[in-house]
Amino acid sequence: MDRRSFIKKAGLATGAAAAATLAAPAIAQSMPELKWRMASSFPKSLDTIYGGAEVFTKYVSEATDGRFSIQPFPGGELFPALQVADKVQDGTVEMGHTASYYYWGKDPTFGFGTSVPFGLNCRLQNAWWFAGGGKEALNEFYADYNIVGIAAGNTGGQMGGWFRTEIKSLADMNGVKMRIGGFGGLIISKVGVVPQQIAGGEIYPALEKGTVDAAEWVGPYDDQKLGFNKVAPYYMYPGWWEGGSMLHVFVGKDKWEALPRSYQAIVEAAGAYSNDWMMAKYDVLNPKALRELVAGGAQLRPFPQDVMEACFQAAADTYAELTASNASFKKVYESMAAVRGEGYLWWQLSENGFDSFMMGQQRKKLL
């Protein structure tokens, strides 16, 4: 090889290497290195609902080549599981992974971020949040608490919980001490139930010791893991207070606003991915778990019609009272209710029409 040719080729190679070297830092320099903590309200043993936190943080890390690292902590590891929103609000941690309705005692408007009685199923909850104004309405409300909400999971329709004694009529609800989370406790108290809000990891011992007579959590897969069937035989349905329960990642508002827009976009994409992942996971795992629970002696029972109707009326009355007295609640409720009314009109023909036929085929053992 002659000297001139060698220099020319070496120059091209060096130039390409230099361009690559210059390009990489230019991109990297626009992405700051951040190490955040995210406290969950859920125990690590619940690999689907807590798993949503792990899926979320992994997505953010991989999308930023590890420059934005978020360490998740299971419920109770840093502080009590039901203090997550408070600790995000005061800056103790940058992020929280929780159900917003745990904080309805601060203001019942918090209930909408997860689920309210006789509200939305999973699909309609997503429709409201992502396209129907729910995200905007709730984040306007959350701003008063110095937090931003990111949708990051959904359990789908839940079961009505485990009861020591069978519920055969509305009268049987009177005096029952029941672990029930969020706004649903307020409604069910109006038909005589005594609600108790207990974190997930503490429900089994409360049910076993008789501190509560009944307990609801999520559905077959998680309930089987927590062993509720061992201490309460009657498995009631549906969980009318949680037709489609959304989980949130809460971010401190000041922390959120300081993030580069690229990181904000990645966090929102991670939440959307976790939202889909969690619902898909439950849809795969719940049927098998339900079969195993029934085979092990669980007694499936629907809530009696008089219970459903009384609770629906109690919810309607409560919504009317709160919309008259709480401006934030009124604004968010009206936003949600608009999607609910139109959604179930359409659902009767589309989803319900198809699903009803297919469920009939399943009962005939043709599927």
pLDDT (tens, 9 = 90+) of the chain, 367 residues, equals 454 443 444 444 444 444 444 444 444 557 899 999 999 999 999 999 999 999 999 999 999 999 999 999 999 999 999 999 999 999 999 999 999 999 999 999 999 999 999 999 999 999 999 999 999 999 999 999 999 999 999 999 999 999 999 999 999 999 999 999 778 999 999 999 999 988 878 899 999 999 999 999 999 999 999 999 999 999 999 999 999 999 999 999 999 999 999 999 999 999 999 999 999 999 999 999 999 999 999 999 999 999 999 999 999 999 999 999 999 999 999 999 999 999 999 999 988 999 999 999 999 999 9
**Residues facing 154 on adjacent strands:** 246
pTM over 0.85: yes
What is the reported pLDDT for 8? 46
Q: Under DSSP, is residue 10 helix (H, G, I), strand (E, B) or coil?
A: helix
Residue 232 contacts residue 299 (beta carbons within 8 Å): no
What is the reported pLDDT for 28? 53
Helix axes 327-349 and 305-325, enclosed angle (nearest 10): 140
State how far the Cα of 184 lies from the Cα of 133, in Å rounded to an integer.
23
What is the reported pLDDT for 47? 95
> Which tokens go with 154?
């959904």
* Helix or strand run (H / E) with residue 269: helix 261-295
Q: Which residue has the tokens 């990645």?
A: 266
Helices (H) and strands (E) in the chain, counts: 13, 11
- Maximum Cα interatomic distance, the chain, rounded to a whole number of Å: 100
Residue 63 contacts residue 30 (beta carbons within 8 Å): no
What is the reported pLDDT for 182? 75
Torsion angle in degrees (nearest 10) through CA of 186, 333, 135, 285:
50
Alpha carbons within 13 A on the beta-carbon side of 60: 32
What is the reported pLDDT for 20? 41
Per DSSP, 202 falls in state: G
The separation between CA 264 and the C-alpha centre of its own chain, rounded to angstroms, equals: 20
- What domains sit in the chain, N to C, each tagged with a CATH number? 32-154+244-283 (3.40.190.170)
Integer CA distances (angstroms), 26 to 22, 33, 328, in order: 7, 14, 45
State how far the Cα of 363 lies from the Cα of 55, in Å rounded to an integer.
35
Classify residue 260 as exposed, middle or buried by CB count within 10 Å of its CB (0-12, 13-18, 19+): middle
State how far the Cα of 185 lies from the Cα of 57, in Å rounded to an integer.
31
* Beta carbons within 8 Å of 173's beta carbon, 6+ residues apart: 167, 188, 191, 192, 193, 307
80, amino acid identity: P
What is the reported pLDDT for 29? 59
